[in-house]
Each structure stands twice: as C-alpha cells, then as structure tokens.
Amino acid sequence: MKSGSRNSCTHRVGFGMDVHRLVEGRALVLGGITIPSPVGLEGHSDADVLLHAISDALLGAAGLGDIGQHFPDTDPRFKGVASLSLLNRVGALLEQEGYRVVNIDSTVLLEKPKVAPYTNAMRSAIARTLGIQPDQISIKATTSEGLGEIGRGEGAAAYAVALVSSR
Ligand code: MG
C-alpha cells in the first residue's frame, strides 16, 4: 500500500464473475468442495467457477489484475490444479500488498444439483484457505429457472464481490 499516495483509502471493493461449461466425465468442484453430480465443470484447472469469481473479486479489490494474468490457462503448471491452491496464492498476494479481507459475498448460478447443502462446507474451506472466519464469507445459490444456457444445464456461472481493507 502506498500510504503516502493521494488516492490511498482504507477500504476497496472488487467484483468477479466466471462461467464454465458442464460436461460429462469431470468432477463438479464448487467452492473447493466436490459435489456428487453426473456432470462437472470443464476447464484447465479444476474449473471451480465460484473460486475463480471470488479470486477475481479479491484481485480486483486490490487492483492486482485477474486470475488469467496470474495463472494463465496455457501454463501446464496450472493444468488440473485445485482452485483452492490458486485462491491461497491470491490471498498471499493481497497480504503481501498489505490488504486484509473484510468480507466476500457471492452467488452461484447453476440449474442442478442443489448447491445449498454444501455452502457451509465451502465457506469453511475458503475461510481456512484465506485465513479468515467463515462468517466473513457468504455463498448464495440460485437457478436460471430453465432459461438460457445455464437453465439448460450447459454450464454454471458465479458472481462475487469482495471488500478489503489496508492495514
Ligand atoms: Mg474460470
């Protein structure tokens, strides 16, 4: 944090969103938790759409770019990687820059399966990874009411906002 800068502020907000396609033969990993499902999210990493949105919200709040810049999907090191480990690195980057997480709010958009039974486990996994408390993380889930690509079960989306403060 450049404390002497005229633009210095104590709180900053960030936004992130992500979309991944649902395909057969992949595990469905959301918020770091594997959910029983006949289809899973396709991507270079484990394609955890929720953690990608949250990571982008955190990076955005800190003005540190996006996960595509930090973890390019052309880099073989990130092939099949657990997105919790990417989130861990995002948390470390923020800490390095002198930011701490105030809270995260997020919404997963997925037709099925139901996400609600798993949100507490996701909050715990994310909290552990970022070194914060589960009550600093909110995860909401909704469907697309059968409308569009998500409604047809072709994919999932996630949106997140994060508030960070400088030490
Ligand atoms: Mg992604």
CA 52 / ligand 1 centre spacing (Å): 5
CA 156 / ligand 1 centre spacing (Å): 10
CA 31 / ligand 1 centre spacing (Å): 12
Report the relative pairing of strands 99-109 and 137-142 from DSSP bridges.
parallel
The residue ranges of every structural domain in the chain are 11-166
CA 71 / ligand 1 centre spacing (Å): 10
Written out in words, the top-level CATH class of the domain with range 11-166 is alpha beta
Torsion of CA 17, 9, 138, 82, to 10 degrees: 50
Return the structure tokens found at 73.
């999907």
Rounded alpha-carbon distances, angstroms, from residue 45 to 32, 52, 60, 138: 12, 10, 20, 23
100-133: burial string, b at 16+ Cβ within 10 Å, e else: ebbebbbbbbbbeeebeebbebbbbbbbebbebe
pLDDT tens digit string along 25-61?
Answer: 999 999 999 999 999 999 999 999 999 999 999 999 9
Contact 12, 62 (CB under 8 A): yes
| pTM of this structure | 0.93
CA 10 / ligand 1 centre spacing (Å): 29
pLDDT tens digit string along 109-146?
Answer: 999 999 999 999 999 999 999 999 999 999 999 999 99
Would you call 40 exposed, middle or buried from its count of C-beta atoms within 10 A (0-12, 13-18, 19+)?
buried
Residues whose CB falls within 8 Å of the CB of residue 76, separated by 6 or more in sequence, listed in order: none
CA 20 / ligand 1 centre spacing (Å): 6
CA 123 / ligand 1 centre spacing (Å): 19
Return the structure tokens found at 135.
């009550």
